[in-house]
Amino acid sequence: MSREKVLPFGSLARQSFDEPFLWSDLGYNHIMVNTRSLELLDSARDLLAHPLDFDSFLSKLAPKDRVNAERRVTVLEAEPDLSRLRLWRRLACSLMTLAPHAAKLVGRQAVQYYVADGRYRMQVFALEDLQDGHFTVYCPDVLQEALQAGLLADEEVAEPHFRRLASGEMLYVELMDKSSLNPSAHFKDMVGWNRKALRIVVPPSASFAQVEATELLCAIAALHFAPIVPGAAPQRHVPTPK
């Protein structure tokens, strides 16, 4: 598969979340990684080489959900700083690119994303906006893969659940399971049937490095359920809980 030239990690050359993006080259100066780990990150990046635009995202929603998504955009457009609008649209499109089977809006605050699971469907992502300035992304547990690949540093930090990125910045990544206290309806199915999930909190003024790391965690998870493309190397799949 051909690869386009990418920007340096955390580059400010991309000035807007609305602009088409390419995965950045990650810096590995703090963490030793092997060839297999680099191949994992390359495969994850390839899943988002051609992200959906926002109109395509809306077109894949049911009519009721499309109206709710447009209302969410209207609310974000009314904020003094439009950076949260751009970030929400980018995350919404990235997750739909990785899980294009179906998406559903839950109330005013969340979007659920699904992949096909035989005759049924299985939730794999959620995007949450509690209107506190932060966005929260939920994805299947790929914490150990992310640590081994060098995406997150395996080191102690002062604040619980915070992980250091290769850029030196911090990102909140919490491992959740069925024992987590009162999981909300829009992600509780992601921690049932012995499944675990990551809660990733994207701060209000998120850097490119923080946003890209969030997307890359989700893309690593998507390697477990992404369809096999003819001529491409086989990808791993998450076993469906019985």
C-alpha closest to that of 93 among 18, 22, 43: 18
Q: Which residues of 185-214 are buried (b: 16+ CB within 10 A; e: fewer)?
A: ebbbbbbeeebebbbbbbeeebbbbbbbbb
Let me know the angle formed at the C-alpha of 153 by 5 and 13, rounded to the nearest 5 degrees.
Answer: 30
pLDDT digits (tens, 9 = 90+) for 22-57: 333 444 434 445 677 778 899 999 999 999 999 999
pLDDT digits (tens, 9 = 90+) for 91-133: 999 999 999 999 999 987 899 999 988 888 899 999 999 888 8
Angle of helix 83-98 relative to helix 63-77, nearest 10 degrees?
A: 150
C-alpha closest to that of 76 among 129, 12, 38, 119: 129
Structure tokens at 94: 């990235």
3-state secondary structure of 122: strand
Please report which confidence band the pLDDT of residue 178 belongs to, taking 50, 70 and 90 as the band edges: confident
What predicted TM-score, i.e. pTM, was given to this entire model? 0.79
State the CB neighbour count (10 A cutoff) for residue 45.
21
DSSP state of 191: G
State the CB neighbour count (10 A cutoff) for residue 35.
7
Domain ranges of the chain: 35-222
